Amino acid sequence: MRILIAEDSRSLLRSLQTALRKTGYAVDAAEDGEAACWLAESNPYDVILLDLMLPKLSGLELLHRLRNTGNQTPVLILTALDAVDDRVKGLKTGADDYLTKPFALEELLARVEALLRRKHGTRSPHLRLGNLTIHTASHTAELGGRQLSLQPREYALLEYLTSRPGTLVTRTDIEAHLYDENSEVFSNTIDSAICMLRKKMTVPNQEVFIRTRKGLGYVLEVQT
């Protein structure tokens, strides 16, 4: 999943980038509202972490602009402003949740995961397809009763496919949601990632498979 962080504190921005990437998210960053707005309008983010006190364009102004143009990406406000009025303004402008600084990283990760579940129309921290179970809180997966040994990017790819069961997912879709603007994505990057994930999903009693639609993309489906 791909996240945009709009935060003018460089130290906090870097620490959030590092933590989210270690968890398996693709992360883009902006230190002012104008840069954040350009990124948000140019890429299909799954969640936006938005500081209210941004230079050039405030967080509230940015949020107002996004919602007015139909951008419905879930937004988690990060703010040092603890006044009720500021929190209410953010929520009324279209934010989905807020977190007051300073905050625990574990809480931020939990709120991001909750927003992702809400986006995909589920309250459960588990995604299930056949005998495949995705644990979104721990970023682990089981297939046929066996836990899969997945790298963060492999888990992100499997979660992305599982959230769209039976649906064609193109290489462009995968690149847009799993790789940030600084990632080097070569012509065979997606194919190689799918190949490695398939190998790790080859277990006894496997019911779920990644099918290739030649020239189109991939479909995660249960064998019938």
The count of domains in the chain is 2
20 and 56 co-located in one domain: yes
The CATH number of residue 48's host domain is 3.40.50.2300
Give the residue from 119, 154, 171 where a domain finishes: 119
56 and 94 co-located in one domain: yes
Q: What is the pLDDT of residue 185?
A: 78
149 and 195 co-located in one domain: yes
7 and 112 co-located in one domain: yes
Closest CA to 56 of 77, 79, 36: 36
10 and 57 co-located in one domain: yes
Closest CA to 36 of 77, 97, 84: 77
In this structure, the strands spanning 132-135 and 126-129 are antiparallel
Question: What tokens does 129 get?
Answer: 């397809």
189 and 213 co-located in one domain: yes
The CATH number of residue 159's host domain is 1.10.10.10
Q: What is the pLDDT of residue 123?
A: 74
141 and 103 co-located in one domain: no
Structural domain including 196 reads 126-222
Q: Are the CB atoms for 162 and 127 separated by under 8 Å?
A: yes
Looking at the DSSP bridge assignments, the partners of residue 169 are 218
Give the residue from 119, 151, 180 where a domain finishes: 119
Give the residue from 119, 145, 175 where a domain finishes: 119
11 and 96 co-located in one domain: yes
Transcribe 29-71 into DSSP letters. EESSHHHHHHHHHHS--SEEEEESS-SSS-HHHHHHHHHHTT-
> Chunked in runs of 10, what are the mean pLDDT values of the chain (224 residues)?
94 94 92 96 94 93 95 92 78 91 92 87 84 92 94 93 93 90 82 94 92 93 84
141 and 160 co-located in one domain: yes
Q: What is the pLDDT of residue 224?
A: 63
166 and 104 co-located in one domain: no
